[in-house]
A and B are shown apart, each in its own frame.
Chain A
Amino acid sequence: MIKHWWKILGALLVLYAFVAGLLIPLKPGILDVSPEMAKGGSKITLDINAYNAHLSQAKEIGIWLKMDSVHFVEGNNIRILSDNKLKTDFQLPYWKSKESAKEMTLILDNEIDGYSLLPGAVQLTYGAPDTSGISSNQWLPAINGQLHQKEGLTFPYRNILYETIRNLFYHVPLWFAMLIILFASMIYSILFLSKKNQKHDHAALALAQVGILYGILGLVTGAIWARWTWGDWWSFDVKQNMSAVAMLIYLAYFVLRSSFEDYEQEARISAVYNIFAFATLIPLLFVIPRLYDSLHPGNGGNPGFGGEDLDNTMRMVFYPAIIGFTLLGIWLANLAYRYLNLKERFLDRYDN
């Protein structure tokens, strides 16, 4: 039992990644508002759709539109329609620039959900004082009162991502684990070439099998994520294409293995190809995507997944998920390796 500790750890970490990653709720946020454009000086009624919020139970609801850190307008006459819906009135100040509209951020705050932001919620367009002398609201220099913080564990709420932010715990760790496992497979191929021990070849083959399984799972989870954030299962993203090509390289490894009659030759030549394949995998996944625009975070001028997106609650699940999926993959490879060794020992290779 003691020597199997890493298998138990791997299984537990994967289980933890599934339980915590799927059950921890998203922080309340704002889905959308209407209208999205308003004239300076006008009085508007804003419909706000929130997500995961508890508006009907909240006592102290505050709503502001923020232009910059010293220009705020407060919403008044707040009507709560349901937990996630409310209406509020704004008396907007004048906006004197005819050329450019100004984006304003919506701030929604209550004591249960904490505060949430929607950047660029409302665009303030030109509207200057008219002669009839209707009084207009003035900017507030700051929010009156304190914003609340949400208590308890939550994942960050991000527009576009919404609930799919959880896929970070599965999609990214699967690729990390695949790279580690394929690297190990290459190391065993090098060992085989230098020591000619048949077990090293079995280890390289077993690891490559698990690596390609993880790669396919990574492609599938990526396609699901792409469907809900970029709009299509396959979005002609360069990284998506190159990952598919990487899978072809490793599928070719299995075809190569099956096209020899002599085992010694099969092991030696496929080891050579495995090393060559890993060397082309690195430019495919890490160099080529930098030459082209990619939709992936961290490529083609997109911000990386970090900072506010990867907060401490996310890290608490993300890092264990990487370790968990890697250990689980090594366990799977270990089973395949032992199966190959037993088959070699008890069955004639060419007898099936």
Chain B
Amino acid sequence: METIRQIPALIAKEFLLEWRSKYALGGVLLYVLSTVFIVYNGFIRVAPPVWNVLFWIMTLFTSVNAVTKSFSAENGNRQLYYYTLADPSAVIFSKIIYNSLLLILLNVLTYFAFSLVAGDPVRDKGLFYLAILLGSIGMAVTFTFISAIANKARNSATLMAILGFPVIIPILVSLIKISANALGVITDTSVGQDIMTLLAIDAILLALAYILFPFLWRD
């Protein structure tokens, strides 16, 4: 009960921090726009299968950039202070929920920006938004947890990439398949099964993050 009461307060703190240091959010937004523009300039006319892959690669890099700072933005002493106040599972859940919301926003923005310049080949909008939703949650869970690991080590920026990218591949590969369905690139009768698979992977990683995080923060 205590944990559940702590989560909203911690999420509110994340929003407040984000709002106070506007450069971080502004930086990521600019990152989204410039990536979209670079990709558009490189390809100009984008065929749907390529559009699909490019979109998810852009969201991947945006997500890594947005989530990396979730533990490194605040210094060690302040984190120690949080840990005396809050339960570790409240800390990880609040970060995951905050990052999920942030990534949903960023990925929808990427979608709008990319379809503005390169055209919008999405046919099944509902399925595509579902893919963005599940993908953002999956990336938020994975990268939040990996950033908690990487933050403890030296050269955490390099570690973030080498630990995070292979681990995200199961999620990314199933995302690309689901959204290929939404784009009409492939027609697959078992798309419901793919969604269940993605949901299951998200759930397993979330459960592991919950179980394992208490071992990470205790220094």
Footprint of B on A, CB under 8 Å?
Answer: 193, 242, 245-246, 248-249, 252, 255-256, 259-261, 265, 268-269, 271-273, 275-277, 279-280, 283-284, 287-288, 291-292
Contact = CB atoms under 8 A, between A and B. Distances in A.
B153 interface: yes
B77 interface: no
Contacts of B145: 276
A292 B149 CA distance: 32
B44 interface: no
Nearest to A283: B170
Given A291-B174, A291-B177, A272 B215 contact: yes
Interface string B100-139: 0000000000000000000000000000000000000000
Given A269-B149, A275-B212, 6 more contacts: A255-B162, A268-B215, A272-B212, A280-B167, A291-B174, A291-B197
Contacts of A292: 173, 177
A275 B214 CA distance: 14
A212 to B, nearest CB: 13
Contact of A276 (B165, B174, B194, B208): B208
Contacts of B159: 255-256, 259
B205 interface: yes
A259 B154 contact: yes
Given A256-B159, A256-B163, A277-B167, A261 B154 contact: yes
Contact of A252 (B166, B169, B197, B205): B166
A279 B216 contact: no
Interface string B29-46: 000000000000000000
Main secondary structure of the interface of B (DSSP, over half): helix
A252 B215 contact: no
A287 B201 contact: yes
22 contacts: A249-B166, A252-B166, A259-B154, A260-B152, A260-B153, A260-B154, A269-B216, A271-B215, A272-B149, A273-B163, A276-B208, A279-B208, A280-B170, A280-B205, A283-B170, A284-B170, A287-B200, A288-B170, A288-B173, A291-B173, A291-B194, A292-B173
Nearest to A268: B215
B208 A287 contact: no
B219 interface: yes
A73 B154 CA distance: 76
Given A255-B159, A272-B149, A279-B208, A193 B197 contact: no
Nearest to A194: B215
Contact of B152 (A252, A265, A287, A288): A265
A14 B169 CA distance: 34
Interface of B: 145, 149, 152-155, 159, 162-163, 165-167, 169-170, 173-174, 177, 194, 197, 200-201, 204-205, 208, 212, 215-216, 219
Given A269-B216, A291-B177, A252 B163 contact: yes
Contacts of B155: 259
A266 B3 CA distance: 28
Nearest to B164: A252
B216 A272 contact: yes
B49 to A, nearest CB: 14
A275 B169 contact: no
A271 B218 CA distance: 14
Nearest to B145: A276
B70 to A, nearest CB: 16
Nearest to B190: A291
B172 to A, nearest CB: 10
A265 B215 CA distance: 10
Given A256-B159, A280-B167, A273 B204 contact: no
A337 B154 CA distance: 26
A248 B219 CA distance: 28
Contacts of A248: 162, 165-166
Contacts of B197: 283, 287, 291
A284 B208 contact: no
Contact of A279 (B166, B194, B205): B205
Contact of A193 (B201, B204, B215): B215
Nearest to B165: A248
A287 B200 CA distance: 10
Contacts of B154: 259-261
Contact of B162 (A252, A260, A261): A252
A265 B194 CA distance: 38
A265 B219 contact: yes
Contacts of A268: 215-216
Contact of B153 (A246, A269, A271, A287): A269
A252 B173 CA distance: 20
A48 to B, nearest CB: 43
Interface centre among B153, B154, B162, B216 (most CB of A within 10 A): B153
Interface centre among A249, A259, A276 (most CB of B within 10 A): A276
A279 B153 contact: no
A275 B149 CA distance: 12
Contacts of B205: 276, 279-280
